[in-house]
Chains A and B, each alone.
Chain A
């Protein structure tokens, strides 16, 4: 049994085998005198019971003493005596009961006898015999009854003689003698029986003997039970010195324990506690239990459930404590494990419910998203119908008043459309549909693009500038679409409320702001503060609080004067907060406002290769040899202070093709971007991008002489001096116009001459338009519309065909469906743009497009001209306009295409 336990101990505690309280291998055999010898091999329990006798209690002298002096000891003895007395009483009671039964039987018998006598009285004249024996004896009674029966029998025999004759008396005497003999015999037998019973009475044992036996039995039983129980028992005196111990720790000898206190025996955690507990019990005089974990050198970490009771002597004085400890280490461990499991369970359950909640929310969001997608069209399409019809109406013959009314109608319709778009944006943010995407982007580039776009539609005499601090990383990770949206919104807002001076964007790195709750931001993230400032009308202080509220504008007056939905800032704020940042504003009436937003970004490692970067690195390769401001490696723009913006008129007249021009201006800017990849060259100066409406000629002039860069030549064409020719060229197509400029401005090359010829031809020729669309019906409708507008066009059925078409023919405009099989519009556009940047179709070939090389490839090196690509989107969430812009599209028409939309688009790009 013990052996089994030894092996089991090796196994986990979880196994339902109770290990011994003390380690098996501690203590020498010599010390084992009070413990069970470990039997080798199998030993049945009976044997163990036998050896129980061998076990002796510790300190045998003390024990009887203890038994005699203490309450418990004497009470135990009295108990035993009382038990014996009770047993005797019980025996007496049983005897009495038997006696009672016998007496009752006797009485019954007497009653019977009486009856019989009465019955036979008249038969016998014989006088009643005088009883000889005492009548009280029951035996005698019975005997007498018997005798009478016999007498009746004998009488019949006897009474043949004559009464009162000699023979009669003789006979009578004889029979009486016989009866006497029988009686004597009976008497003798009774005496014998009496003696016998006396003897058995003597053989009954004495009470002491019985008590001893009982005690022995009790002891044997206790040993049997306790020898392997993980229980230690002891008795300690008033000073908590051990007087007695049972099942002590094996390695300790008797003399190590007796007469000592716990503290003297053990060291380590829990010892003091147990000592204190015992003392407490002793003082309180009340038995109690406690669980104490010992952490001793002797037996390691073990938890004991300790029961301590005070011991009193007969005079009710405390003389010590009885102490019983049971090892519950396993139980405690299990209990703790259980508690932990229960805790884990609770946590898991909470997580589960959280998860289901999330799933629920996700489902809700999905539904909301679908509804939004439908709604967006549901609302927009009838409205665009109204606006479209109104526009068609405006092409008909109308008198002045009608035209005015119609214009109001159209502009109101546009406003409502804008409002719906804004609401959709906002509800997208609020319904959680808006998901942030982490994409790598260059903050400098984003700022430039935003400013360029703003400049493109600028109708005021304003300077737009960008200022990016050195420490702003070259490449960061964030949701570039949203950031662009915010910047665009803020910039257009600033432009709207600024009539003179400048509007600009300033980027700088700041330390982590206090509102940042997300502590997991590590050193790879950076907080960039972006200021959008203007020198506009400013915002009165009392209007600041409601500035970011929906549908609120600083005042009703402003709303009337400046229009707008009042949703822009609310959207910006929501977006910024969605990204974990904060949007604030400071303003001074009549001197301008500054909107500041702080956002966290992850710093991207620039050695990562994204598609995006490949594109740019292509470009770098291509352009690196060209000298520029940035060749010094300082990555800086000379701020073009002192605007040459003197004449507003011509600029306004050239507005109609400004968007395209803005695109052209990106080319020199991108050159600079190419150098962004060498941040080590940055000096202490910060970079300033200045985009001005119709500007860049100063810069281009600076550039031209030193670089002879053919890519910047487009910039000069809109300077005030050339504005005349600019406006004159509006009559011809845009492409032609540009080429005309080029030929005027740059040293002519073979290529330029070719172009000029083309341009000359084109004045009398149709512009070439390519429609990329896979849907037959759409093609048919669009073609018919084109026909009505007086144009023809080529058709490509997917992105790949489009690329091949663009490669072989020089188009003036591409209308590109976004969603197409084989290759979608976005990718096709990206590839075309990449070709324009690099002059080769490598990117497209890499993307798996089968480029048919034609001999006249060289003829189409006009890669530097930006081909206008207009997206046709179904206006679903998946095809956002921002995405179109990011992929290099210039504009977009939402589907279904209407005559009016098409006409506007063509006007914009082909005029």
Chain B
């Protein structure tokens, strides 16, 4: 809190990002996102990711409802939801979520219900992992900003 940890926090952020990139959780599209953040929209990444989480949560809930229905057969709707999810995930660079979504979508195209259920589980898992990681990242970011905001009169 004395503003001395800025470098350490930055290093932490970088390490976290590196590990996320390394694991394939994120890809370079996320960097694009970061690039778009400038002085006119200082919280762009945070905003976009938040909207992404809101939207995705809705989609996942809807997917789960659809799949839990015993007499369900609307694979087309599943496909549409997944298209959305794939699109937005690839836009923010959430690579692993996107990839498992693609697999899920293939299962839905084949009307493979067990495959879909498995797909949903995997997608939810990846999604929550991503959410946790992002949460951590934003927290670090916030701390860094706070730390960076500390100024000492010279």
Give me the interface of A with B, judged by CB distance under 8 Å. Answer: 366, 370, 373-374, 377, 381-382, 385, 388-389, 392, 774-778, 780-781, 784-785, 787-788, 819, 821, 874, 895-899
Q: Given A373-B102, A896-B93, A778–B88 Cβ distance below 8 Å?
A: yes
Q: Does B146 contact A (CB under 8 A)?
A: no
**5 smallest beta-carbon distances between A and B, as pairs:** A385-B28, A777-B88, A775-B87, A784-B36, A896-B90
Chain B residues, Cβ within 8 Å of A373: 102, 106
CA distance A388 to B52 in the complex (A): 23
Q: Does B4 contact A (CB under 8 A)?
A: no
Q: Given A775-B87, A778-B91, A788–B28 Cβ distance below 8 Å?
A: no
Q: Are B87 and A785 in contact, with the CB atoms below 8 A?
A: no
Q: Are B99 and A385 in contact, with the CB atoms below 8 A?
A: no
Q: Given A385-B27, A392-B35, A898-B29, A777–B44 Cβ distance below 8 Å?
A: no
When the two chains form the complex, which single residue of A777, A785, A895 contacts B55, counting CB atoms closer than 8 Å?
Answer: A777
CA distance A389 to B84 in the complex (A): 26
Summed over the interface, the residue pairs from A and B with CB atoms below 8 Å come to a total of 82
> Taking CB as reference atom, which chain B residue is nearest A872?
B87
CA distance A554 to B88 in the complex (A): 45
Q: What would be 7 A-B contacts, judged by CB atoms less than 8 Å apart?
A: A373-B102, A374-B99, A775-B91, A778-B87, A787-B36, A874-B87, A899-B32
> Taking CB as reference atom, which chain A residue is nearest B87?
A775
Q: Are A781 and B31 in contact, with the CB atoms below 8 A?
A: no
Chain A residues, Cβ within 8 Å of B88: 775-778
Chain B residues, Cβ within 8 Å of A389: 28, 31
Q: Given A388-B28, A389-B28, A899-B32, A777–B99 Cβ distance below 8 Å?
A: no
CA distance A750 to B102 in the complex (A): 53
Q: Given A776-B88, A780-B51, A374–B38 Cβ distance below 8 Å?
A: no
Q: Are B86 and A874 in contact, with the CB atoms below 8 A?
A: yes
Q: Are A382 and B91 in contact, with the CB atoms below 8 A?
A: no
When the two chains form the complex, which single residue of B27, B31, B48, B102 contacts A777, counting CB atoms closer than 8 Å?
Answer: B48
Chain B residues, Cβ within 8 Å of A381: 27-29, 95
Q: Are B48 and A819 in contact, with the CB atoms below 8 A?
A: no
What 0/1 pattern do residues 12 to 35 of B give for CB contact below 8 A with A?
Answer: 000000000000000111011101
Q: Are B91 and A896 in contact, with the CB atoms below 8 A?
A: yes
Give me the interface of B with A, judged by CB distance under 8 Å. Answer: 27-29, 31-33, 35-36, 38, 40-41, 44, 47-48, 51-52, 55, 80, 83-84, 86-88, 90-93, 95, 99, 102-103, 106, 110
CA distance A525 to B78 in the complex (A): 43
Q: Are A874 and B90 in contact, with the CB atoms below 8 A?
A: yes
> Taking CB as reference atom, which chain A residue is nearest B49?
A777
CA distance A388 to B28 in the complex (A): 9
CA distance A514 to B31 in the complex (A): 58
CA distance A388 to B84 in the complex (A): 24
When the two chains form the complex, which single residue of A776, A778, A785, A821 contacts B36, counting CB atoms closer than 8 Å?
Answer: A785
Q: Are B92 and A382 in contact, with the CB atoms below 8 A?
A: no
Chain B residues, Cβ within 8 Å of A898: 29, 32
Q: Given A775-B91, A896-B93, A781–B106 Cβ distance below 8 Å?
A: no
CA distance A272 to B36 in the complex (A): 102
Chain B residues, Cβ within 8 Å of A777: 48, 51-52, 55, 87-88, 91-92
CA distance A565 to B117 in the complex (A): 42
Chain A residues, Cβ within 8 Å of B102: 373-374, 377
When the two chains form the complex, which single residue of A382, A388, A784, A819 contacts B83, counting CB atoms closer than 8 Å?
Answer: A819
Q: Are B91 and A821 in contact, with the CB atoms below 8 A?
A: no
> Taking CB as reference atom, which chain A residue is nearest B98?
A377
Most B-side CB within 10 Å, residue of A385, A389, A775, A898: A775
Q: Are B90 and A895 in contact, with the CB atoms below 8 A?
A: yes
Most A-side CB within 10 Å, residue of B28, B32, B35, B103: B32
Chain A residues, Cβ within 8 Å of B110: 366
When the two chains form the complex, which single residue of A382, A776, A778, A784 contacts B27, counting CB atoms closer than 8 Å?
Answer: A382
Chain B residues, Cβ within 8 Å of A788: 35-36, 38
CA distance A788 to B48 in the complex (A): 16
Chain B residues, Cβ within 8 Å of A899: 32, 35-36
When the two chains form the complex, which single residue of B27, B41, B87 contacts A895, counting CB atoms closer than 8 Å?
Answer: B87
Q: Are A821 and B90 in contact, with the CB atoms below 8 A?
A: no
CA distance A381 to B90 in the complex (A): 10
Chain B residues, Cβ within 8 Å of A776: 51, 55, 88
With A785-B32, A874-B90 given, name 14 new contacts (CB 8 A). Answer: A370-B106, A381-B28, A382-B27, A388-B28, A775-B91, A776-B88, A777-B87, A778-B87, A781-B36, A784-B44, A784-B48, A819-B87, A895-B90, A898-B32
CA distance A388 to B80 in the complex (A): 29
A77 to chain B, nearest CB (A): 87
Q: Are A784 and B41 in contact, with the CB atoms below 8 A?
A: yes
CA distance A874 to B92 in the complex (A): 14
Q: Are B36 and A382 in contact, with the CB atoms below 8 A?
A: no
CA distance A784 to B52 in the complex (A): 15
Chain A residues, Cβ within 8 Å of B106: 370, 373
A394 to chain B, nearest CB (A): 14
Chain B residues, Cβ within 8 Å of A775: 84, 87-88, 91
Q: Are A781 and B99 in contact, with the CB atoms below 8 A?
A: no
> Taking CB as reference atom, which chain B residue is nearest A780?
B48
B34 to chain A, nearest CB (A): 11
